[in-house]
Structure 1
């Protein structure tokens, strides 16, 4: 019974990690979309929230099978907007 409980606990932990990753990644994508929209409108924007979320995801990735995310610079946002035009 203890082996079953151990496996169950391990799977529960992995499930929580995956769900947290999904939530953080959605928030990161939304933050990127906001930065792109501001850039396209020639408004001020920051990548701070994007990189804060990237940092949280990368910390989570250290625990196992969660992919890492790249930190984003203003230059990257501007380059993306120029390519999009």
Structure 2
């Protein structure tokens, strides 16, 4: 009986740690620098994807870097809702 309880307890603890691990990883991710990131990294941002990532790079190449999240509105296909969702995930 003791072995069963011990195994079940260990399983519950391991399950809890695995369930919480995505939260820990999300907190450890550093913001992405929009002025230096490549398209692959930019595409990882929520609401961006490959097409908008390329548009971000084209905009910064054509008109200079971005100074704030609000500057991302310059990019075709990026609106204020997307910018609001990115504020804590990007840096300049």
Normalised by the length of structure 2, the TM-score is: 0.40
More strand by share: 2
Greater CA radius of gyration, 1 or 2?
A: 2
More helix by share: 1
